[in-house]
A and B are shown apart, each in its own frame.
Chain A
Amino acid sequence: MRPVAAIFNLNHPAHTVHWHFFQMSVSNIVVIVLMLAVFVIAILAPFPGHRQGGGGS
């Protein structure tokens, strides 16, 4: 292995979640949960109104 300076070493076999035939690594579940959370927050969070430069497209 090459020298890797990372704060969290993720080079160990993943923890997985099993349920019937469903299997997913915890890392992937974290990503999916984050996506859903960010989507919900993006929709619900108040948007600064009528100010310059804060818009989106």
Chain B
Amino acid sequence: MQEDARYREWSGAYRPYDLVKEASIALGVVLALAVVLTILFSSPDDPPSTIKQWSRTNPVDFVTTATTELDGSSGTGGYGPPYNHASSGQHIAFIYLQKWLGVSHPIDTARDYVLAPLRSIAGQPALQAAVTRYQAAPVDRQAAWASAYENGLGKAKTNPDGSISVPAGNYGPLPTMMGGLLSFAQAGGLDGALLTSRQFFQTDYTKPLLLMADGSVLADRAQAQHLLGDQWGMMNETGSYPGQVWLWLYTFWYQIKPFSTSANADILVMAVMGVLSLALILIPFLPGIRDIPRWIPIYRIIWRNHYRALDQHAVEPLHGAPEGASP
């Protein structure tokens, strides 16, 4: 493009300039700013929730969540890949990326969250007998117990000793199992058991985190801190600290239809943001978008000294003349 070639080289005036000094000054300024902000505001550090705390402060919610893990009706139980095959996950039209990338982090919610931890508890024969009775029962009986128990939990009460009471019903061995799991959790055993289930050394907190996320312990704290999705929480930080302001457009889409009411909201937003990100990268090639700076001439303010100097000298600006360019 002829006009674009005019801008390749500048053969006009230069003036002295100290690049290394400027970079050093910038480093000093930013360091000073960061130190001042640190002294003024510090940084947030809300301590993490634990399963131990959760089971002590809200035992009904904990037991309800555990029961939904047992019958697979929890969020994780019905999630699909990468945790299990319970659903095909989110999709756009015929593109099922979530399903196609497969189950890379398998979680069997009944086994991992309830049965295996219970089996690891020693010295409680009644508890072990309850688990055996549950595992020996046919699948539809297990489902019926769990369903009835979840209904009962809707009217449960917390006892002073931290256990819970549920109205009478046909729950089979579930009250014994869940009572055992609750005590185990309240003693801190479940936090550890979920973390070290594969080996001693662990850095993968997926299992305990998903269990907590299936309940209300994290969401309750998040709501108080304005971190929920419909509170534009993606942009926010705990407390009154500034958060991730650059995520404004990511969270914006979730607030409006069709995203706000879609079961595929996440993949839809990812797709939109993928396209917009590509557009950002390719602005130099997008007609219209690349022309807006010429139509809204903020550049005339930025380079006003340059244009004023041109006026004063009343000389044509010097630039390399590409072949065929008009004078």
Q: Pick the contact of A21 from B17, B42, B256 — CB < 8 Å?
A: B256
In the assembled complex, the Cα of A35 lies from the Cα of B298 at a distance in Å of 17
Q: Pick the contact of B226 from A14, A44, A49, A56 — CB < 8 Å?
A: A14
Nearest residue (CB) in A for B244 is A28
* B241:A10 contact, CB within 8 angstroms: yes
Chain A residues with Cβ below 8 Å from B224 are 13
Chain B residues with Cβ below 8 Å from A26 are 240
Q: Smallest Cβ distance from A29 to chain B, in angstroms?
A: 9
In the assembled complex, the Cα of A15 lies from the Cα of B225 at a distance in Å of 10
Chain B residues with Cβ below 8 Å from A10 are 41-42, 44, 239-241
Known A2-B45, A7-B39; judge A24-B242 contact (CB<8 A).
no
* A44:B301 contact, CB within 8 angstroms: yes
Main secondary structure of the interface of B (DSSP, over half): loop
Chain A residues with Cβ below 8 Å from B241 are 10, 14, 27
Would you give the 0/1 interface string for A7-47, flagging 1 where the beta carbon is closer than 8 Å to chain B? 11011111110000111111110111001000000011001
Nearest residue (CB) in A for B25 is A53
* B39:A31 contact, CB within 8 angstroms: no
Known A21-B256, A23-B232; judge A5-B42 contact (CB<8 A).
yes
B101 interface hit (Cβ, 8 Å) = no
Q: Pick the contact of A49 from B41, B42, B44, B305 — CB < 8 Å?
A: B305
In the assembled complex, the Cα of A27 lies from the Cα of B226 at a distance in Å of 12
* B302:A43 contact, CB within 8 angstroms: yes
Known A4-B42, A5-B42; judge A27-B240 contact (CB<8 A).
yes
In the assembled complex, the Cα of A35 lies from the Cα of B225 at a distance in Å of 24
B255 interface hit (Cβ, 8 Å) = yes
Interface size class of A (residues with CB under 8 A): 35 or more
Main secondary structure of the interface of A (DSSP, over half): loop
In the assembled complex, the Cα of A44 lies from the Cα of B300 at a distance in Å of 11
* A24:B39 contact, CB within 8 angstroms: no
Known A6-B40, A28-B243, A55-B17; judge A13-B226 contact (CB<8 A).
yes
In the assembled complex, the Cα of A50 lies from the Cα of B16 at a distance in Å of 8
Chain A residues with Cβ below 8 Å from B15 are 50, 55
* B245:A28 contact, CB within 8 angstroms: yes
B9 interface hit (Cβ, 8 Å) = no
Would you give the 0/1 interface string for B225-240, flagging 1 where the beta carbon is closer than 8 Å to chain A? 1100001100111111
* B41:A6 contact, CB within 8 angstroms: yes
Chain B residues 199-238 with CB under 8 Å of chain A are: 224-226, 231-232, 235-238
B325 interface hit (Cβ, 8 Å) = no
Q: Smallest Cβ distance from A39 to chain B, in angstroms?
A: 10
Nearest residue (CB) in B for A35 is B245
In the assembled complex, the Cα of A13 lies from the Cα of B224 at a distance in Å of 7
* A13:B301 contact, CB within 8 angstroms: no
Chain B residues with Cβ below 8 Å from A6 are 39-42
* A27:B17 contact, CB within 8 angstroms: no
13 A–B contact pairs at CB < 8 A? A2-B45, A4-B42, A7-B40, A10-B44, A10-B240, A11-B44, A13-B240, A15-B240, A25-B235, A27-B240, A28-B236, A31-B242, A43-B302
The 4 closest A-B pairs by CB, nearest first: A6-B42, A55-B17, A10-B240, A27-B242
Give A residues with C-beta under 8 Å from B. Answer: 1-2, 4-8, 10-16, 21-28, 30-32, 35, 43-44, 47, 49-50, 52-53, 55-57
**11 extra interface residue pairs, beta carbon distance < 8 Å, beyond A6-B40, A12-B239, A25-B236:** A10-B241, A11-B44, A11-B239, A13-B224, A13-B239, A14-B225, A14-B236, A28-B235, A44-B301, A53-B21, A53-B22
